[in-house]
Chains A and B, each alone.
Chain A
């Protein structure tokens, strides 16, 4: 309960900070007045059309990644699982890359995220077809690895065959992941998918708790593993697919956040779900604030910063875990 309060407070504070920090350099009072007030000046425009959607997307993407990471780790009973494992983010990225490479992305505003969502959707059908009807976890990992590898290869092919260097640099930049220059259109596009994903994943707690005892014991405790796995795949695909579609590939959140918070919820996979959702939101918001503070004029990409911060953090966690073993 205390963890819940602390994490919620952290998200609220970081959300506020995200609204107040930016290159336009307004004072906090001025910013808040503009956000809540009626006058239609430039400050209001910046607050409502640039910073607010950016902060909201940060929360949404963070919840999606944290929740998916926790659910996958719980299901696979492996602290190294992360949302990219089942190939959804790779496939969503492939869809976006194809849109950028062919120039479809420039045809209308939502072409890129829609292409990414289509990629995620195709990945889900492939996973479910490959992994088979029974609820085993091994086939899911293998199917995910195969799909990730294929999506990665096709992404490289798209880069390889790219008609001009500008498209290549655009693709590479997009793949780094960022929340800059997003609008409410992105929020409204991603929200329905993410919300469905969150609801599906949030209902898995009991089943994931029971899976602590292994698949056989969980099934004998009345957990329908086939249904659990279906909900897991659909939930991860909907939320992470939508997150990748609007923000690009942001790694490490889904891997590190559940790992960091596990000791604080008594290692219970069910309790880790909501904790990781909040923790993920806080981490993405913090990283998105950091990219604006560290190198404000160099357009530092969120995914890059996350990897630079996340990898050493993860090394530290591995080091600590190793000592416990």
Chain B
């Protein structure tokens, strides 16, 4: 079943297309890395899919009502905002907002979803700590836990691994990979191509608002694409541990 269908989606800033006729489908169980240089339109594309920006073309999520959409797709913005010194528990419980009727108390199922998300992100024991007093990386994990607690078929995350230590970068990607085993799909924008190459089942390469390549990591991370889009050379090797990607030099 398709979780997301985009056809000819464009976002214009005045008359300049920031996202230019993007079409793709997301089916169940995919971990998709959305890659591209700064300003390629990754965040804009994700925000348009969520209905946070006006766009032209078709997005299946746009047909859903606001509350249906909140139960279908979860969103982790790049700006990691935690405005008030709430506990980690309270913060992660915000992911249950779309599932709670106005003013309803969280049910046993809600509490379990929150507890699972907290332990998935390695935050067990942090439940009663104030989220604003955690380190940057711990806050990022708490916010990822909030997204997991929302328990939606589709997760969109904007650079969720930025600022995490190597161990937690890997944990985060593994948590996403585990989520895809139950049929969920995750669409993450990221700059760490090595991490993307190892964990994503599919990469979508954006350049100047358009899709340049879409497919398995080794078919997307070709020397030609890397030169054209990022202006770099890289060492790419298929090993027993999976695809290894290491950027080498900037092309002049």
Interface residue B191 (Cβ < 8 Å from any Cβ of A)? no
Closest Cβ of chain A: how far from B196's Cβ, in Å?
A: 23
Closest Cβ of chain B: how far from A216's Cβ, in Å?
A: 4
Q: Which residues of A contact B71 (CB under 8 A)?
A: 222
Q: Which residues of B contact A224 (CB under 8 A)?
A: 66
Q: Which residues of B contact A210 (CB under 8 A)?
A: 94, 97
Q: Are B103 and A205 in contact (CB under 8 A)?
A: yes
A window 165-217: CB within 8 A of B: 203, 205-206, 209-214, 216-217
B window 122-137: CB within 8 A of A: 130
- Among A77, A222, A262, point to the contact of B97 (Cβ < 8 A): A222
Interface readout for B66-78 with A: 1 if CB under 8 Å, 0 if not? 1101110111110
Interface residue A138 (Cβ < 8 Å from any Cβ of B)? no
* Docked pose: A262 CA to B84 CA in angstroms: 9
- Among B51, B83, B94, B98, point to the contact of A77 (Cβ < 8 A): B83
Q: Are A216 and B150 in contact (CB under 8 A)?
A: no
Interface readout for B86-112 with A: 1 if CB under 8 Å, 0 if not? 110011001101101011000000000
- Among B81, B98, B143, point to the contact of A222 (Cβ < 8 A): B98
Given A205-B103, A212-B94, A222-B98, are A217 and B83 also a contact pair (CB < 8 Å)? no
Q: Are A216 and B84 in contact (CB under 8 A)?
A: no
* Docked pose: A77 CA to B75 CA in angstroms: 20
Q: Are A214 and B98 in contact (CB under 8 A)?
A: no
Given A206-B97, A212-B91, are A217 and B81 also a contact pair (CB < 8 Å)? yes
- Among B51, B98, B146, point to the contact of A213 (Cβ < 8 A): B146
Q: Are A212 and B47 in contact (CB under 8 A)?
A: no
Interface residue A220 (Cβ < 8 Å from any Cβ of B)? yes
- Among A203, A222, A267, point to the contact of B84 (Cβ < 8 A): A267
Closest Cβ of chain B: how far from A309's Cβ, in Å?
A: 26
- Among B50, B90, B130, point to the contact of A220 (Cβ < 8 A): B50
- Looking at A203, A205, A217, A262, the one whose CB has the most chain B CB atoms below 10 A away is A217
Interface residue B85 (Cβ < 8 Å from any Cβ of A)? yes
Q: Are B77 and A214 in contact (CB under 8 A)?
A: yes
* Docked pose: A188 CA to B74 CA in angstroms: 47
* Docked pose: A310 CA to B177 CA in angstroms: 53
- How many chain B residues sit at the interface, stated as a range, is 35 or more
Q: Are A214 and B70 in contact (CB under 8 A)?
A: no
Q: Which residues of A contact B63 (CB under 8 A)?
A: none
Q: Which residues of B contact A23 (CB under 8 A)?
A: none
Q: Which residues of B contact A267 (CB under 8 A)?
A: 84-86, 130
Given A217-B77, A222-B66, A222-B67, are A268 and B90 also a contact pair (CB < 8 Å)? yes
Closest Cβ of chain A: how far from B120's Cβ, in Å?
A: 18
Residue of B nearest to A203 (CB): B102
Interface residue A219 (Cβ < 8 Å from any Cβ of B)? yes
Closest Cβ of chain B: how far from A254's Cβ, in Å?
A: 17
Q: Are B103 and A216 in contact (CB under 8 A)?
A: no
Q: Are A212 and B83 in contact (CB under 8 A)?
A: yes
Interface readout for A126-137 with B: 1 if CB under 8 Å, 0 if not? 000000000000
Q: Are B94 and A220 in contact (CB under 8 A)?
A: no
Closest Cβ of chain A: how far from B229's Cβ, in Å?
A: 26
* Docked pose: A220 CA to B155 CA in angstroms: 11
Q: Are A206 and B102 in contact (CB under 8 A)?
A: yes
Given A209-B97, A212-B91, A216-B77, are A221 and B82 also a contact pair (CB < 8 Å)? no
- Among A206, A211, A222, A223, point to the contact of B83 (Cβ < 8 A): A211
Q: Which residues of A contact B86 (CB under 8 A)?
A: 212, 266-268
Closest Cβ of chain A: how far from B138's Cβ, in Å?
A: 16
Q: Are A216 and B52 in contact (CB under 8 A)?
A: yes
Q: Which residues of B contact A269 (CB under 8 A)?
A: 84
Closest Cβ of chain B: how far from A147's Cβ, in Å?
A: 25
* Docked pose: A221 CA to B151 CA in angstroms: 12
Q: Which residues of A contact B87 (CB under 8 A)?
A: 266
Interface residue B251 (Cβ < 8 Å from any Cβ of A)? no
B window 42-73: CB within 8 A of A: 47, 50-52, 66-67, 69-71, 73
* Docked pose: A40 CA to B111 CA in angstroms: 59
Closest Cβ of chain A: how far from B97's Cβ, in Å?
A: 5
Closest Cβ of chain B: how far from A81's Cβ, in Å?
A: 12
Apart from A205-B103, A217-B75: 9 A-B pairs, beta carbons within 8 A: A77-B81, A206-B100, A210-B97, A211-B83, A212-B83, A213-B146, A220-B74, A267-B84, A268-B90
Q: Which 4 A-B pairs have the closest CB atoms?
A: A222-B70, A214-B81, A220-B75, A77-B83
Q: Can you identify 23 A-B contacts, CB atoms within 8 angstroms?
A: A77-B83, A203-B102, A206-B97, A212-B82, A212-B83, A212-B84, A212-B91, A216-B47, A216-B75, A217-B75, A217-B76, A219-B50, A219-B52, A220-B75, A222-B67, A222-B69, A222-B71, A222-B98, A266-B86, A266-B87, A268-B84, A268-B90, A269-B84
Q: Chain A interface (Cβ within 8 Å of chain B)?
A: 77, 203, 205-206, 209-214, 216-217, 219-224, 262, 266-269
